[in-house]
Amino acid sequence: MEAKARVFTMHIIRASRIFIILGLSWIATASQHARSPRADSHPHNTPLKDAPVVVTVNLQQSLNTITDHFIGHSLGYPLAINLSHHFSSQKLKNLARELAPAFARVFGDGATYWVGRRKRGITPQLWDSMNNFFETSGWDLIMILDALKRHKDGSWNPDNARQLLQFSAQKNFTIAGFELGNEYDIYGNPFKTVVTPEQLAKDVLTLQKVLSEFPNYYSSFIMGPDTAYVNPHYFQGFLAAGASKAVRAASFHQYYFSGHHGNLSYFTDIKTMDNLGHVVDQAFKQSRSVDPLLPVWLSETGSAGAGGVEGMTDRFLSGFLWLDKLGVCAAKGIQVVMRHVFYGKHYGILDSNLDPNPDYWLTVLYKRIVRGAVFHASGRHDVRVYAACADTDNFSAGSLAIYILNPNNNPVTFDLPQFTHQPRLRYSLTPGDQDGLVSKYVSLNGVKLQLVNDTLPPLKPESAPPGMVTVPAYSYTFLVFPEARVSICLT
């Protein structure tokens, strides 16, 4: 009887444990639902633990150097025509100057055409006004030449390029750089033209000779192959075929997904963010196998290709992928990142009315805050933390900038033990209205950012007390430590 009693008691204990576990599970689930944001904020990326994220920065070694041209801008030919109607707008000039200095990359659907005064192509008048606009804005032009003009043997015919260069030289236009064609690796699809990487390498060497004929442009750089993807066949094959001797940088494009298949959850998904690092690693692996010292540029990029996603790539949530992209590229050694596009469609940083989308404000702040040596920063995988010297045009030499992304649906606290007792300046970016992640506006330290008489308002930080830093749910923050006196940032 005693044995049966013990067995019965054990069953009772086990049953009680099961009910307790189920009860705790239900409580946790209910609690999680209570914390979940609105449906359009797609709850996921719940922090791994409640303890503060301990951030450490290796200040003894620089991973890369962010220059004043780190962020550039790309503009397609059809959009350039639309934008040209606003070149005299003081509002546009004000907005563009805030992003200077920068590279401006202009191209068409696979190639840019120069056919004099014919309806299809860049006319002398458009080319004239475009160059004047970029020069007054402090932007350095990179022009993509028409690559579809070819001899019968398949080699590039440079006669059209010479016409453009002659006209530009007569006008004394400054053209910083050139490309030959755009996304040659997929030309066989939209243009029914196939150009091998070996042929493109020969064509680029021809372009180098053509530029040497013009004193205005013999020192202008060439970049390429500007592939749609990074793959050994085309990206590496182009460089290995001799082009590495002619180009200043090996260039490629990257989008996380197509605008035709965008989803709200992609923008704050850590797995989506992780994809870029793998692509950049492949680009460096392939370029360094040919020339270990050749710079690599991300010459066209955004969150979603094919025009972007309406209501997503032009809203606050787009900033997560954009800011993370800048951090990844800076840490991995990319020298230039060209945002596509500057104006128009659903992924422009300016909309069709020349009003700033949230990514415009983020880009301006990045340029004002971050410049110089880049450092390795460690934290936790469900958040993003990056560090670099602060721009000495706006902060004292030796200042450190740390930028943090919290793509989670609840606040995250960060412990920065190296700077516990140091004062810091804070720029906290959150949605600008009740629309949350899909807000068309952004707030800086709680103040909605809007133009004032077609000019930018003061983008001032707030002084934050020493100690730990709490970053709100679904937001990103810049911290500047003006008294850090980082030795590498002092030089």
DSSP character string of 185-244? GGTTTTSS----HHHHHHHHHHHHHHHTT-TTTTT-EEEEEEESS--IIIIIHHHHTTGG
Residue with tokens 């005693």: 2
| E-state strands within 259-383 | 296-305, 336-340, 370-378
Q: How many CB atoms lie within 10 A of CB 475?
A: 23
345-375 pLDDT, tens digit per residue, is 999 999 999 999 999 999 999 999 999 999 9
Distance, CA of 92 to CA of 146 (rounded, Å): 28
Domains of the chain as residue ranges with CATH: 53-61+376-490 (2.60.40.1180), 65-372 (3.20.20.80)
Give me 305's structure tokens: 């290709």
Catalytic site includes residue 183:
yes
| Alpha carbons 241 and 238: distance in angstroms, whole number | 5
Pairwise CA distance, residues 251 & 233, whole Å? 15
Task: Give the C-alpha separation, 79 to 105, whole Å.
Answer: 12
CA-based radius of gyration for the chain: 26
C-alpha–C-alpha distance, residues 414 and 417, integer Å: 9
Contact between residue 334 and residue 298 where contact means Cβ atoms under 8 Å apart: yes
Q: Which residue has the tokens 């692996």?
A: 285
Residue type, 331: A
Q: What is the predicted pLDDT for the residue at 13?
A: 38
Q: What pLDDT band is residue 80 in, cutting at 50, 70 and 90? A: confident
Largest interatomic CA distance in the chain: 110
Place of tokens 């015919």: 157
In 3D space, the residue among 319, 338, 322, 353 whose CA is nearest the CA of residue 442 turns out to be 319
Helix 318-332 to helix 358-369 angle (10° resolution) is 30
pLDDT given for residue 12 in this prediction = 39
The pLDDT tens digits for 429-470 are: 999 999 999 999 999 999 999 999 999 999 999 999 999 999
Q: Which of 2, 179, 300, 310 is catalytic?
A: 300
Task: Give the per-residue pLDDT at 107.
Answer: 79
Report the pLDDT value the prediction gives residue 377, as an integer from 0 to 100: 98
88-129 pLDDT tens trace: 999 999 999 999 999 999 976 434 444 444 445 687 888 899
Q: Which residues contact 337 (CB under 8 A, 6 or more apart)?
A: 70, 71, 72, 297, 298, 301, 325, 326, 329
Residue 45 has a pLDDT of 53
Which residue has tokens 């009740």? Answer: 434
Check pLDDT > 60 for residue 165: yes
- Pair 187, 181: CB distance under 8 Å: yes
- Residues 230 and 277 sit within 8 Å (Cβ to Cβ): no
CA distance 475 to 478: 11
Q: Classify the C-alpha dihedral 56-444-268-66 as positive or negative.
A: negative
DSSP string, 358-405: HHHHHHHHHHHHEEEEEEEEE--TTSEEEEEEEPTTTS-TT-EEEEEE
Q: Give the confidence band of 38 by pLDDT, cuts at 50, 70, 90.
A: very low
Residue 33 has pLDDT above 70, yes or no: no
The 10s digit of each residue's pLDDT in 405-417 is 999 999 999 999 9
The encoded tokens of residue 326 equal: 């800048």
pTM: 0.89
Q: In the prediction, which pLDDT does 194 show? A: 85
Residue 171 has pLDDT above 90, yes or no: yes
- CA 200 to chain centroid: 27
How far is it, in rounded angstroms, from Cα 203 to Cα 195?
Answer: 10
* Rounded Cα–Cα distance for residues 169 and 240 (Å): 32
Angstrom distance (rounded) from CA 94 to CA 56 = 38
Closest CA to 390 of 430, 442, 425, 415: 425
Note if 462 is an active site residue. Answer: no
- Average pLDDT of the chain is 88
pLDDT over 50 at 19, yes or no: no
Residue 187's pLDDT band, with cuts at 50, 70 and 90, is confident
Nearest of 487, 491, 482 to residue 400 by alpha carbon? 482
Annotated catalytic residue: which of 2, 183, 198, 310? 183
Query: Is pLDDT above 80 for 402?
Result: yes
pLDDT for the residue 15: 41
Residue-level pLDDT at 189: 57
Q: Which strand ranges, in their side-by-side order, compose the sheet holding 53-54?
A: 53-54, 412-415, 469-471
pLDDT at 193: 76
The confidence band for 268, taking pLDDT boundaries of 50, 70 and 90, is: very high
Report whether pLDDT(191) > 80: no
Residue 37, pLDDT above cutoff 90: no
Q: Name the 3-class secondary structure at 48.
A: coil
Query: One-letter amino acid identity for 115?
Result: V
Q: Which of 182, 64, 80 is nearest to 133 (CA)?
A: 80
Of residues 268 and 193, which shows the higher confidence score? 268
Q: Which pLDDT belongs to residue 49? A: 57
Name the least confident of 47-51, 282-286, 323-327. Answer: 47-51
